[in-house]
């Protein structure tokens, strides 16, 4: 999954470096820990509770408890670790039931600039890339057809609005501190460990019964990116030329109809085409019908693009699904 010498150099630069991953128990956070571990970094994976800490193997990573609610604890942790790069995968609003405006503001808006200040005083100053890699989201843009970082963002959801406010506040804080950081705006991630309520896990789960599967029309075009590619992209942005919190789209640059993902997954799961009821569900009014994502800035900064094909990504996801037997 590495693209040429530039990709090799980006990952090899992490060997022996100290890195901190906030939100390490989440879908993308777990993969960031794994890819850092593979690259030979000294990783501190930060999770919310001891129960999460003890619930799985973490490879060679050290695991520490920490949360948005305890910034002094995070300060102590960062000062002890002196990381080259801190990855912030903390967010609120992507799971069902996460709709509290106060919590969304606290986690998505207020925390990123606070973290930028903590990282600026605790980072390894010999690292020449970005000391903070902050996970933004496509929801910051709102429903637009052509997505470029320079476009006027018009988020249509609480999640998008609070994440955009956090990204802007992070950039302002980084400019004031002259702190090296980047916001990676992530698009339509899929793969092993994806939350159960989302499309691909739903298809995998429903492959075990014989009932019809209700879907939207599937004609919407989306840019799907395999989760390991996203994790590697975050590492590459960490090793790239230092920015001041500016956004960079992290996507494949290859939009496809949602129906293509469904049909590919159905074929691999042996789900008959007749069970797929396209058009039975309405499309979301807060999303664009078609969306093309510019990845020019990503390619300029990293010399890399996500490489995993949809077929390969779905195959990997199906194979990793522990409860599925075929």
Token pair of 202 as six digits: 């739903």
> Can you give the pLDDT at residue 4?
44
> Can you give the pLDDT at residue 49?
84
Q: Are 74 and 118 in contact (CB under 8 A)?
A: yes
SS3 track for 239-260: HCCCCEEEEEEECCCCCEEHHH
* Neighbouring residues of 159: CB distance < 8 A, sequence distance ≥ 6: 92, 93, 94, 98, 104, 108, 137, 139
User: Which pTM does this prediction carry?
Assistant: 0.94
Q: Are 46 and 20 in contact (CB under 8 A)?
A: yes
Alpha-carbon distance of 322 to 163, in angstroms, equals 33
> Can you give the pLDDT at residue 42?
98
Q: Are 228 and 310 in contact (CB under 8 A)?
A: no
Alpha-carbon distance of 96 to 144, in angstroms, equals 24
Task: Output the tens digit of pLDDT for each of the chain's 326 residues.
Answer: 344 444 588 999 999 999 999 999 999 999 999 999 999 999 999 999 877 767 777 889 999 999 999 999 999 999 999 999 999 999 999 999 999 999 999 999 999 999 999 999 999 999 999 999 999 999 999 999 999 999 999 999 999 999 999 999 999 999 999 999 999 999 999 999 999 999 999 999 999 999 999 999 999 999 999 999 999 999 999 999 999 999 999 999 999 999 999 999 999 999 999 999 999 999 888 777 888 999 999 999 999 999 999 999 999 999 998 544 33
Our CA angle for 103, 70, 243, nearest 5°, is: 80
> Can you give the pLDDT at residue 322?
52
């Amino acid at each position: 999954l590495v693209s040429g010498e530039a990709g090799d150099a980006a990952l090899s630069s992490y060997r022996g470096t100290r890195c901190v991953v906030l939100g390490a128990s989440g879908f993308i956070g777990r993969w960031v820990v794994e890819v850092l571990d593979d690259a030979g970094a000294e990783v501190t994976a930060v999770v919310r509770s001891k129960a999460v800490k003890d619930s799985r193997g973490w490879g060679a990573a050290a695991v520490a408890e920490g949360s948005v609610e305890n910034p002094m604890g995070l300060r102590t942790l960062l000062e002890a670790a002196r990381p080259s790069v801190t990855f912030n995968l903390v967010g609120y609003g992507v799971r069902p039931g996460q709709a509290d405006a106060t919590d969304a503001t606290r986690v998505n808006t207020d925390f990123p600039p606070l973290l930028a200040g903590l990282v600026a005083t605790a980072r390894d100053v010999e690292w020449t890339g970005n000391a903070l890699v902050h996970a933004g989201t496509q929801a910051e843009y709102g429903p637009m057809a052509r997505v470029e970082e320079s476009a006027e963002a018009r988020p249509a959801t609480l999640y998008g609005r609070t994440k955009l406010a956090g990204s802007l506040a992070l950039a302002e804080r980084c400019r004031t501190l002259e702190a090296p950081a980047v916001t990676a705006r992530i698009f339509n991630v899929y793969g092993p460990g994806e939350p159960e309520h989302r499309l691909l896990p739903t298809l995998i789960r429903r492959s075990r019964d014989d009932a019809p599967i209700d879907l939207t029309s599937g004609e919407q075009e989306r840019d799907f990116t395999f989760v390991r590619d996203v994790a590697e992209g975050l590492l590459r942005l960490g090793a790239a030329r230092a920015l001041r919190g500016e956004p960079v789209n992290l996507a494949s640059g290859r939009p496809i109809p949602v129906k293509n993902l469904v049909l590919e997954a159905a074929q691999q799961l042996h789900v008959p085409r007749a069970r797929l009821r396209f058009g039975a569900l309405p499309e979301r009014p807060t999303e664009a019908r078609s969306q093309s994502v510019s990845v020019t800035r990503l390619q300029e900064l990293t010399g890399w693009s996500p490489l995993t094909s949809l077929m390969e990504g779905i195959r990997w996801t199906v194979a990793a699904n522990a409860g599925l037997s075929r």
